[in-house]
Amino acid sequence: MKRIEAIIRPHKQASVLAALAKLGLSNVTVIKIMGLARQASFSSTYKVINPDTETQTGLIPKLMLLLFVADDQVPPILELIRAQAFTGDPGDGAIAVSQVEQIIRIRPKPTPVQGKKPKS
């Protein structure tokens, strides 16, 4: 099992998610993030404690897509995300893939470990 974290431009969300849905993937977590990167074409302005002053943070809004997928699904997903998120300009994003040892679902009632009685 693999964990895929893809950082993309916010306006690319719809096309990336639509393409992932065509592959049959519906379990995607989308997280709004801000970050510093090589892309320097945008910086957010935030009010600080003194309302008469402002500070340029340099933080750029992005989205992080989080997916947990089977090992054999990784290559087509990576290619799909790259193709859909690509603009050709600096700041298109990045994709990280890591190994996942175990995923435990929260909703289903856990099954007792063999040899132990469940607590009542």
Q: Which residue has the higher pLDDT, 56 or 96?
A: 96
In the structure, what pLDDT confidence band is assigned to residue 5 with cuts at 50, 70 and 90?
very high
Predicted pLDDT of residue 104? 86
Count the Cβ atoms, other than its own, within 10 Å of residue 30. 14
Do residues 30 and 117 make contact, with C-beta atoms less than 8 angstroms apart? no
Residue among 23, 25, 30, 41 nearest 7 (CA): 30
* 71-113 per-position pLDDT tens digit: 999 999 999 999 999 999 888 999 999 999 998 888 877 666 5
The residue extents of the domains of the chain are 2-99
Contacts of 86 (CB under 8 A, 6+ apart): 92
Residue among 81, 102, 92, 88 nearest 2 (CA): 102
Class for the domain spanning 2-99: alpha beta
- pLDDT above 70 for 31: yes
Alpha carbon distance 61, 33 (integer Å): 6
| Tokens 């007792």 -> residue | 112
pTM reported for the whole predicted model = 0.76
The phi, psi pair for 7, rounded to 5°, reads -100, 120
Predicted pLDDT of residue 90? 87
